[in-house]
Amino acid sequence: MDLNPTPQERQFRDELRAWLEAHAPRDWEARRSATDSMEARFAFLRQWQRQVYEGGWAGLSWPKEYGGRGATLMEKAIFTEEMARIGAPPLPGILGLELVGPTLIAFGTEAQKQRYLAKILSGEEIWCQGFSEPNAGSDLAALRTAATLDGDRFIVTGQKVWTSYGWASDWCELVVRTDASAEKHKGLTVLLVDMHSPGVEVRPLRQMTGETEFNELFFENVRVPVENVVGRVNNGWNVALGTLAHERALLGAGLQITFKRQFARLVELARQTQRNGRPAVEDPVIRQKLAQCYAEIEIMRLNQMRAISRVMQTGMPGPEGSIQKIFWSELNQRFQQVAMEVLGPYGQLTQASDCAFDQGQWAYTYLRARGNTIEAGTSEIQRNIVGHFVLGLPRSY
Amino acid sequence: MQFGLTETQQVLKNSAREFFSAECPIGEVRRLMETDTAYDAPLWQKMAQQGWTGILFAEEYGGLGLGLVEMAVALEEMGRALLPGPYFSTVLLAGAAIDAAGNPAQRHRYLSRIAMGEAHATLAVLEADASWEPEAVKLEARPTLAGFALTGRKMFVPDAAAADFLVCAARRGGDLGLFIVPRGAPGLAVSPLPALDETRKLYQIVFEEVPVAEEDFLAIGDSAREALERALAVATVALVAEMVGGMQRVMEIAVEYAKARKQFGKPIGQFQAVQHMCADMLLLTESSRSAAYYAAWSLQKRAPEAAAAVSIAKAYASDAYREVGNRAIQVHGGMGFTWENNVHLYYKRAKASELMFGDAAYHRERLARLVIDTL
């Protein structure tokens, strides 16, 4: 056990830091709460991804032959941490970089790799993921969007929901049912769908935060050429699961930095706000709650480091990896609640108020955290996974 | 960065697992907890032969000279076995205190006896007000011609009746001091404090003008304070490691039961209400393990964040072990509430461990001083 970075890791981090110092926009946090249009903000992010790409940092863990850097999982974690540390803007092509790209590398044909990968890296083409449906959420395999073969193309009809970046996307990794008579996991296929095709409609889905991070997608007789199948027809469940495994391994590293930055800011605010006639930071109840948040943020980081080390050592995720999603999402909800207690009546003020702390970000993060235990696999599904796959309890459904 | 056990550490862990499951099965735990001291001489001799009593101490004192991560993985297995008796008090309390406070002659005299399995010992810190702050130590150490005389009362001293000598925190004037006292010294009276965890016995000790020889005076003032802090930090990490081992075992017992026990024609572990309790037990156990290993590593490296790491580990594991035990009993239903079932033994150890060296609230406040007030 050695928790110090290796010389190579240190060198990687120093090189990255120097690059970020020179190139990362510093005004992202102000920009995010400004009243720019969604489109203007997206254009800004796209420009940022272009810079990251040109700097050679996009697709870090992709193999070199596909334009990546062949970085280790630890280097990937360092990248995510360093981006969070300086508050760099997110990469708008994140779904392509983290989900679609790795899926194509694992399951795609050589022609597909040539056609799509480079443009994912540069952000020239933005991707979304068409997985969940109104009646297929936790039970994803129950999805009903249908694709029927018609000569050399599929005709797709159906509806998807919770699609991040749907409105900005050029392409969609879509899971469809190609065999209605097969068992539900066995009749699925993954298609690459041009979002500019006739019959594709994207509608905004307004969340309780007021934002529209997600979309609903409607497909009506959309034509998709057969060469856009990823993997084999009716083997889509394995292809899609490969993608979800990437999604679950991905979170965590940057979050602990984000949470720590928010924590430091909250302590600063706890010195300014009053509780029982003294600064909130001196109130014993608040101190208990802040310390608990700090301890849990640290443990989230430690669990993440252990999980990464395990994968690097054995090639397989261990039990500590399976709890990450539950841990960070539930921690964030508790943390945002503590923030609300520290801020008192001010906590509820939104971006629209001049009196709000930090442009109303606390009211926003409080509401946004509510979605954390639902998105990317609910806490209940995560506990089913732990119960069945880690502890070996019988499947409950 | 590599946050996993090395091959050597894993071998050590496996051999500890093998040794304690063979030499200290749960039936033996039950037998020993019914005795006055929970001490068993043949078991102790075997532990000494295996080197467990010398795990922390330098080779010149007959020890193995291993690091704190190695100590933690070994203690994890002892906690899993629910090892009763004075091992923890001897090696991790008295031993760690003498290691931190003693001069070479004292270390040689006492640590080698501990390492060889020839002596048992403990550390007496708490008094009637049950405060872990060094300022709360009031036991009087009065200088005499031959050394010192101790007067006062110590409380919650683990395994005192099995000890051959005690390391005592006392006060000489305004200064904290550490002293070694033979258990048979005149004026010293040890009486049991029957408590809910019968695998680790607690005692009250009354001192009336107990003489301490000059050569058994360990440290005074800042050096005593630093040594006591270091020893308590090492012992706290050791305790958290034990707690992790206990959590792991109690979770396994509950999961096995959830697979075997049937109601409504199905194993109860198939019901999500039960399954999710088991998943939470895994989350609490693995998270405590991450915190324990990190604390051991940073204490070993004397890293600046070590004090915070120790408090994070003790705060989290204190709540976690209690909660894991709690859920394990719930999974067992009525059987979990019986004397015959083993889960209550862990549940009681969880509570006793939570209260030792400061509970979660104590360590959260300590953490607040370390990381919030300095931010």
pLDDT exceeds cutoff 80 at A245: no
Question: Which of these is catalytic: A247, A282, A330, A341?
Answer: A247
Residue B239, domain extent: 224-372
Q: Which residue has the higher pLDDT, A376 or A189?
A: A189
Banded pLDDT at A322 (limits 50, 70, 90): confident
Residue B2 lies in a domain: no
Q: Which of B180, B195, B220 is the last residue of a domain?
A: B220
Residue A102 lies in a domain: no
Answer yes or no: do B230 and B211 share one domain: no
Q: What percent of chain A has pLDDT over 70?
A: 97
Residue B156 lies in a domain: yes
Answer yes or no: do B53 and B28 share one domain: yes
Partners of B286 on chain A (C-beta within 8 Å) are: 303, 306, 319-320, 323
For chain A, how many structural domains are there in total? 3
Answer yes or no: do A266 and A377 share one domain: yes
Partners of A294 on chain B (C-beta within 8 Å) are: 312, 367, 371-372
Query: What is the chain B residue with the closest CA to A4?
Result: B1
Question: Which candidate from A309, A382, A391 shows the least CB-CB separation from B2?
Answer: A309
Kindly report the CATH number assigned to the domain that includes residue A221.
2.40.110.10
Query: Which of A272, A299, A311, A381 to probe by mutation at the B interface, max B CB count within 10 Å?
Result: A299
Kindly report the CATH number assigned to the domain that includes residue B274.
1.20.140.10
Q: Which residue has the higher pLDDT, A36 or A12?
A: A12
Banded pLDDT at A251 (limits 50, 70, 90): low
Answer yes or no: do A348 and A227 share one domain: no
Q: Which of B85, B118, B151 is the last residue of a domain?
A: B118
Kindly report the CATH number assigned to the domain that includes residue B56.
1.10.540.10
User: In the predicted model, what is the mean pLDDT of chain A?
Assistant: 93
Residues A226-238 pLDDT 10s:
999 999 999 999 9
In three-state form (DSSP H/G/I as H, E/B as E, the rest C), the secondary structure along chain A is CECCCCHHHHHHHHHHHHHHHHHCCCCHHHHHHCCCCHHHHHHHHHHHHHHHHHCCCCCCCCCHHHCCCCCCHHHHHHHHHHHHHCCCCCCCCHHHHHHHHHHHHHHCCHHHHHHHHHHHHHCCCCEEEECCECCECCCHHHCCCEEEEECCEEEEEEEEEEEECHHHCCEEEEEEECCCCCCCCCCEEEEEEECCCCCEEEEEECCCCCCCCEEEEEEEEEEEEHHHEECCCCCHHHHHHHHHHHHHHHCCHHHHHHHHHHHHHHHHHHHHCEECCEEHHHCHHHHHHHHHHHHHHHHHHHHHHHHHHHHHHHCCCCHHHHCHHHHHHHHHHHHHHHHHHHHHHHHHCCCCCCCCHHHHHHHHHHHHHHCCCCCCCCHHHHHHHHHHHHCCCCCCC
pLDDT exceeds cutoff 70 at A246: no
pLDDT exceeds cutoff 80 at A63: yes
Residue B1 lies in a domain: no
Instruction: Measure in Å the smallest separation between the Cα of A383 and chain B Cα atoms.
Output: 6
Q: Is A247 marked active-site?
A: yes
Answer yes or no: do B194 and B298 share one domain: no
> Is the CB of B291 inside 8 Å of chain A's CB atoms?
yes
Query: What is the chain B residue with the closest CA to A326?
Result: B283
Answer yes or no: do B309 and B288 share one domain: yes
Residue A14, domain extent: 7-92
pLDDT exceeds cutoff 90 at A33: no
> Is the CB of B287 inside 8 Å of chain A's CB atoms?
yes
Partners of A383 on chain B (C-beta within 8 Å) are: 272, 275-276, 279-280
Answer yes or no: do B205 and B231 share one domain: no
Q: Which of A45, A76, A92 is the last residue of a domain?
A: A92
Answer yes or no: do A367 and A335 share one domain: yes
Answer yes or no: do A200 and A297 share one domain: no
Residues B101-156 pLDDT 10s:
999 999 999 999 999 999 999 999 999 999 999 999 999 999 999 999 999 999 99
Residue window 250-269, chain B: list those with CB within 8 Å of chain A: 255, 258-259, 266-267, 269
Banded pLDDT at A243 (limits 50, 70, 90): low
pLDDT exceeds cutoff 70 at A20: yes
Partners of A313 on chain B (C-beta within 8 Å) are: 2, 4
* Contact assignment for A303 to B6 by CB distance below 8 Å: no
Query: What is the chain A residue with the closest CA to B291?
Result: A299
pLDDT exceeds cutoff 80 at A35: no
Query: What is the chain A residue with the closest CA to B253?
Result: A391
Say whether the ipTM exceeds 0.95: yes
Banded pLDDT at A249 (limits 50, 70, 90): low
* Contact assignment for B297 to A309 by CB distance below 8 Å: no
Kindly report the CATH number assigned to the domain that includes residue B194.
2.40.110.10
Answer yes or no: do B69 and B38 share one domain: yes
Residues A136-161 pLDDT 10s:
999 999 999 999 999 999 999 999 99
* Contact assignment for B1 to A323 by CB distance below 8 Å: no
Answer yes or no: do B248 and B285 share one domain: yes
> Is the CB of B67 inside 8 Å of chain A's CB atoms?
no
* Contact assignment for B3 to A392 by CB distance below 8 Å: no
Tell me, what's the pLDDT at B116? 96
Tell me, what's the pLDDT at B88? 98
* Contact assignment for A1 to B258 by CB distance below 8 Å: no
Kindly report the CATH number assigned to the domain that includes residue A382.
1.20.140.10
Residues B212-240 pLDDT 10s:
999 999 999 999 999 999 999 999 999 99
Query: What is the chain B residue with the closest CA to A301?
Result: B290
Kindly report the CATH number assigned to the domain that includes residue A81.
1.10.540.10
Tell me, what's the pLDDT at A27? 85
Answer yes or no: do A324 and A386 share one domain: yes
User: In the predicted model, what is the mean pLDDT of chain B?
Assistant: 97
